[in-house]
Amino acid sequence: MKWHFIKSLMWFCAVVWTVSVFTSCSLMKDDRDDCPMGLYLKFKYDYNLERADMFKDHVGAVDVFVFDENGKYVTTRSEMNAGTYRPLADPSYLMPMNLSPG
């Protein structure tokens, strides 16, 4: 009698688990409306004697050259610190790469 109860309980749990797995997909939603879209580059300069990220302290300008899969030049993106405008000194700086798909 006890074995029959345990077997029935296991069967019931398996059915409940299966039903919950197949019906719970509608409960999950990726809300990416406020997420930035596109490609952003983050720079890091830690190959130095300090073994720390020294990018914001030692880099004053960055040039990024973009090539396609065939090695053909596509565009260049540049950023530099100038006067009081110092975007590269911000540790959270991300360079937006406004590239067309393909």
Nearest Cα to Cα of residue 54 among 18, 88, 10, 77: 88
Class for domain 37-97, per CATH? mainly beta
Chain segment 1-39, per-residue pLDDT in tens: 677 778 888 888 888 888 877 777 777 777 777 766 788
Q: Which two tokens stand for residue 34?
A: 């406020």
- Write the CB contacts of 80 (distance below 8 Å, at least 6 apart in sequence): 60, 61, 62, 88
Give the pLDDT of residue 72: 93
Per-residue pLDDT at 55: 84
Long-range contact list for 72-75, CB < 8 A, 24+ apart? 74/99, 75/99
| Contact between 76 and 64 (Cβ < 8 Å) | yes
pTM: 0.58
pLDDT digits (tens, 9 = 90+) for 49-99: 888 888 888 889 999 999 988 999 999 999 999 989 999 989 889 999 888
Residue 95: the pLDDT is 92
